[in-house]
Amino acid sequence: MKIKTGDTVKVISGHYKGTISEVLSVDVKNNKVVVEGVNMVKKSQKPTQANPDGGIIEKEAPIDASNVMLYDKKAKAASRIGFKFNDKGEKIRFFKKSGEEIKEAKK
């Protein structure tokens, strides 16, 4: 999968189309990503010792990875991703639109 945790993405389809936010987690097996503030669902939670009141909480649900594209902050546009090898022989990701190398996000 070309998208990693910590990447900035733009939602390209669905109710949250146009939203630019950060990836919180990636499920490679099911091809799903959880994006901050996108696909919010309400979930009932029983009272626990940590949360004695319980109640209804709002949290992000996974969306399909095909519904997001990596967002290039310099070009201010969503772009496809390519792979190439640098002079050290390491495989790196780059934006196809601008040719800019993607810096690895800090976790």
At 92 the pLDDT is 92
pLDDT at 107 over 70: no
Q: Please report, for the domain that includes residue 34, its CATH number.
A: 2.30.30.30
DSSP character string of the chain? ----TT-EEEE-SSTTTT-EEEEEEEETTTTEEEETTSSEEEEEE---SSSTT-EEEEEE--EEGGGEEEEETTTTEEE-EEEEE-TTS-EEEEETTT-PBPPPPP-
Q: Say if 96 falls within a structural domain.
A: no
Determine the average pLDDT of the residues in 75-102: 91
Asked if residue 91 is part of any domain, the answer here is no
Q: What tens digit of pLDDT does each residue of 12-55 get?
A: 999 999 999 999 999 999 999 999 999 999 999 999 998 898 89
Residue 56 confidence (pLDDT) above 70: yes
How many independent structural domains does the chain possess?
1
* pLDDT-based confidence at residue 82 (cuts at 50, 70, 90): very high
Range(s) of the domain holding residue 56: 8-73
